[in-house]
């Protein structure tokens, strides 16, 4: 696939590096491990009764507010309270449900699988379109995947 520009953002979906794993996703240790390995991380965040949590379908792992202050996080607000609290803060966050495109707080375009891309787009879950990850587009700002380690290795060859 050839070398790509060094500015490509490789984003571990829910902190996962090597495929889906509901027991590891959004766990603070999983997120921190991915960051320690040099990846950005998309993490699902809830704010309920003045307590911060990570978790996809429900608030699962309690975290401190300080956890959120990491420039490598792409914070997916899972409830209105999280979005409201983070609005105006200098963090990378967004909200979506079933939208084709979502603008993040730092003006990147969170782009659902199979939708057109720009140089400001984050390609999300390319494995949902190409399970073998053979046709990864590189004309975008970043890629968010459960298989981000494999994608980075393939694109760096």
CB within 8 Å of 32: residues ≥ 6 apart: none
Q: Which of residues 2 and 52 earns the better pLDDT score?
A: 52
Residue ranges of the domains in the chain?
9-155
Q: How far apart are CA 31 and CA 19, in angstroms?
A: 14
CB 136 within 8 A of CB 151: yes
pLDDT digits (tens, 9 = 90+) for 73-90: 999 999 999 999 999 899
Say yes or no to pLDDT of 16 above 70: yes
Mean pLDDT, range 20-42, rounded to an integer:
98
Count Cβ atoms below 10 Å from residue 42 Cβ, excluding itself: 27
Tokens 């909200």 found at: 95
Most confident of 71-85, 86-100, 111-125, 129-143: 71-85
Long-range contacts (CB closer than 8 Å, 24 or more residues apart) made by 82-89: 82/45, 82/46, 82/47, 82/52, 85/47, 86/45
pTM of the model: 0.93
Residue 137 banded pLDDT, cuts 50, 70, 90? low
| pLDDT of 119 strictly over 90 | yes
88 compared with 113, residue with greater pLDDT: 113
């Amino acid at each position: 696939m050839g070398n790509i520009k060094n500015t490509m953002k490789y984003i571990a979906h829910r902190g996962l590096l090597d495929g889906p794993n509901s027991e590891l996703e959004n766990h603070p240790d999983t997120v921190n491990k991915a960051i320690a390995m040099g990846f950005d991380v998309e993490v699902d965040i809830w704010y309920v009764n003045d307590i911060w949590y990570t978790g996809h379908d429900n608030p699962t792992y309690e975290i401190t507010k300080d956890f959120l202050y990491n420039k490598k996080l792409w914070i997916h607000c899972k409830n209105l309270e999280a979005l409201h609290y983070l609005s105006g803060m200098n963090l990378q966050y967004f909200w979506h449900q079933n939208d084709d495109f979502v603008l993040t707080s730092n003006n990147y375009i969170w782009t659902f699988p199979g939708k057109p891309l720009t140089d400001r787009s984050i390609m999300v879950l390319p494995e949902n379109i190409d399970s073998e990850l053979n046709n990864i587009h590189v004309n975008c700002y970043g890629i968010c995947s459960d298989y981000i380690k494999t994608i980075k290795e393939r694109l760096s060859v």
